[in-house]
Chain A
């Protein structure tokens, strides 16, 4: 982001930006940056906190008034609201965990899990009117079947026409994860933290188990793009302890 800002300023566009990693911003010295102590993925702090978001936005744009450059790095004083919520998830469904997870068992478990969560996802859609689990272009069961096919020996799953195989796999897994997070957050109770949600997905769901099972397959693939997905775009660093 700092580099983008530098080149925009070079071309005559004034910039004011948010910094999520102060140490990197100090090194790259963009013209105007507001460092915020928020988690990655939430540059304006918290969802549905319009007053707080507005304060972050106003504080950032106020840097445009500053003339004491060439480098202005200011700290936002407050933490994001509710960013440490450790609410636990209560899921009414006891997801079937295959005792010896073979490929087809895992797929069956993922499809059953989707069916169990579907009413909650419908409620999420009623409340939000949108889903971000749409990037692969596959419906949610087709995404599961496509991802699970990579676990079958001697198969080379075909992506939808005109789509890239590795990119479709990456987006299918992301859709399956995002769909589950949308569904589980529609359940009643306090809003779980992002850490709670991630631990639930990677530690408790059949889809998390399927994604973890894909890791050794992808990193051993002859296909360089599939290896790339397996190495860097599949399992978050903080969840890699779940790999064998």
Chain B
């Protein structure tokens, strides 16, 4: 079990010191039932295909992960050294649940999976700085007919 109260004091203090702004609006998009939804994964784990450029220390761009990606083709270049990598080493689904999502699709629990998923590196930038990247990803999701994103931190 890991809760903030279980962490070392400096780890907890670091997490609590992060800038967590309130946004002036609180959008809440609704849509069809889950079995009719087209789902994409959007992760801040700094994942990318091995052949793609690694994330730089303050990289605010995104990487595209094709829907048919194989586990062996996924790399991680997140700037933080303060989280566990051994789970991801052992099984990509502990960070990027692509096989579980495929199983939900096969079982008819979701309508379909996006052709493309997206990854950013969630460190080294302030929350407001991600807006242009997010809007670009949103435009690409719309073009892929995605109507819901699964957001996965690391």
A interface with B by C-beta (< 8 Å)? 1-24, 27-31, 37-48, 50, 53-54, 56-58, 60-62, 64-65, 67, 69-71, 79-80, 83-84, 128-132, 134-135, 164, 166-167, 170-171, 174, 178, 181-182, 185, 194, 197-198, 225, 228-229, 232-238
Complex: how many Å from CA A84 to CA B80?
23
Residue of B nearest to A229 (CB): B57
Cβ 8 A contact of A2, one of B89, B94, B127: B127
Complex: how many Å from CA A189 to CA B140?
46
Q: Mark B80-103, 1 if CB is under 8 A from A, else 0.
A: 111111111111011101011101
- Interface size of B in residues (CB-CB distance below 8 Å): 85
Residues of B within 8 A of A6 (CB): 23, 27, 134
Closest Cβ–Cβ distance, residue A80 to chain B (whole Å): 8
Cβ 8 A contact of A14, one of B79, B83, B90, B147: B147
A167 touches B93 (CB 8 A): no
B103 touches A54 (CB 8 A): yes
Residues of B within 8 A of A238 (CB): 8, 10-11, 82
Residues of B within 8 A of A21 (CB): 4, 15
Closest Cβ–Cβ distance, residue B109 to chain A (whole Å): 7
B20 touches A27 (CB 8 A): yes
Complex: how many Å from CA A234 to CA B14?
16
